[in-house]
Amino acid sequence: MAEALVLSTCFQCPKVCSVLGNIQILRFAAATLVVLFHVAWTAQNEGRSTSFLAHFIKWGESGVDIFFVISGFVMVLSQARTRRSLGQFLLERAIRIVPMYWILTLLLTALLLALPQLFSNSSFSASKTLASLFFVNWLSGEGFPVVYVGWTLEYEWLFYIFFAFSFSLLPLELTWIPVLASFSLLSASGWIEWVSVEFVYGMGIGLFYLRGWKLPFPSLFVIIGMAMLIGTALFQVAELPRPVAYGVPAFLIVAGLVYLPQLRGRAVLFLGAASYSIYLVQVFTIPVAFRVIQKFVSLPSDVVALLAAAITLLAGGLACSLVEKPLGRRLHRLHRPEPQMEIGVRS
């Protein structure tokens, strides 16, 4: 317990707030990577081969790995700053991620019921809808959730549960052990994928940072991480486990950006805050954008895909401003005031 006191006292709010800018921009970059991955994948599925964007099919999904590493980092710092009980922590996490996800899950479910002809590969399933709403598709065998990108939120919620039980029983600096053991057991049993262990990568960065240790040559970490991601795409090292192929580069990028001079400004904060809505609305905007654009104008495949990505980013920003943030503020007021620390990742 003495070590836990050291961690809590070495944590200073100004220090953490200075991390905010780079983490927010990285969240936005990660969301954009995933969007580019999905527009390239959609173009390919519709028989529209892309040249430039085809590369994002190989490594655009690494945005998810970046999200997971950021999440592990942020949760450690957040809990060190404001010690919360297990129940309080999970309630605050639910307020963060559930409302927008439920809105879009129920909206898509309504469309599946009312206009099934719009969906060639999906159909209504009451059990899948319930499993999606409670983040347990991985357990129920229902496959992907109704909002298919929600599989990452199910892993995120598992992380919250494992982390909450861990910090309620152990000093903060030891929480990575049961979290790693839990994810390793589920992954080895085939219930979930090994990408889940990447939350622990971020926890390691957070614990290192809280001790006040310095990272030598942080820019080199970022450069090496980006080079590894590009190399993974160019040389198609698919045989490497994902926690190595994408997880290690994500770890290096996050660690380096934490220690580099921080970007600041409202635009930086907004881009990061919008990443969650961007990540979710792409399920709607990408297929709709493809159909509408291709119906009214003939453009090269890469241009159509880039327009679909731009529309998704814009729609995500609007959804964040008009729905996610106002709803979140109301729910927080119903719960209780919370220290403003908008560096949490929600993927």
Give the DSSP letter of residue 264.
-
Distances (CA, A) of 28 to 34, 159, 192: 10, 21, 26
User: Low-confidence residues of the chain, pLDDT below 70?
Assistant: 1-19, 120, 236-238, 336-347
For residue 237, the model assigns a pLDDT of: 62
Residue 39 phi/psi, 5-degree rounding, is: -70, -35
For residue 64, the model assigns a pLDDT of: 97
For residue 238, the model assigns a pLDDT of: 58
Q: What whole-number distance in Å separates Cα of residue 224 and Cα of residue 219?
A: 9
Q: What is the pLDDT of residues 168-215, one digit of tens each?
A: 999 999 999 999 999 999 999 999 999 999 999 999 999 999 999 999
For residue 336, the model assigns a pLDDT of: 65
Q: What whole-number distance in Å separates Cα of residue 115 and Cα of residue 108?
A: 10
* Domain boundaries of the chain, sorted by first residue: 2-335
For residue 19, the model assigns a pLDDT of: 52
